[in-house]
Structure 1
Amino acid sequence: MATAPKALFCPTCRKVVLAECEDFPFCSDRCRILDLGKWASGDYKISSPILDPEVLEGLDQGMPHRRRDEED
C-alpha cells in the first residue's frame, strides 16, 4: 500500500508544497528569500522566554543584575 507524499503549505504564499520539493517547506526560492528578509528586518520575533539554564547563565554573566522592583 503506497502512502501519499507529505505536504505542507508554504509559510509565505500558502501554496501546497510536497516534501520532495527541493525548496521544502517553501514552494520556491523566492518565497524562501522573502521569509529570510522578514527575519532580517525584524518582522518575525520569538516571543517566548529563554528557559534553558545554560543559556540564561551565559546571558547573566554579561549583564548587570537588576531587581524587578527597580524603576527605570
Structure 2
Amino acid sequence: MPSASHPDRAACPGCGKPATPAFKPFCGRGCRDRDLIQWLSDGYRIPGRPVEADEQDSDRNGLDS
C-alpha cells in the first residue's frame, strides 16, 4: 500500500513508513533485521495439514510410519 506522503513509494511491511532504496522494501535496517529474525526463528509459518493422533505418537517415539 503506497504511503500518503509518497504515493509512488511502497510502505515498509514492518511499520508502514515509506521504503528506502538502500533497504527496500523496508524503511531501514531495524525493520529489515526484525523481518530476518522472524524468518530465522520460524516466526513465519505456512500451515500444513492437521496431524493425526497416531502420527503424533509415532513422532514422539521416534518411529517412522
- Report the TM-score when normalising by structure 2: 0.55
- Paired amino acid for 2:17: K
Gaps of 5+ in 1: 50-69
Q: Which has the higher strand share?
A: 1
Q: 4+ runs of 1 displaced by more than 6 Å?
A: none
Q: Which has the higher helix share?
A: 2
Closer/same/farther in 2, CA of residues 38 and 5 from structure 1, 3 Å limit: same
Aligned length: 47
Q: Percent identity, aligned pairs only?
A: 38
Q: Which residue of 2 aligns with 1:26?
A: 26
1:12 deviates by 0.9
- Report the TM-score when normalising by structure 1: 0.50
Gaps of 5+ in 2: 1-5, 55-65
Quick check: 2:38–2:44 contact (8 Å CA) kept in 1? yes
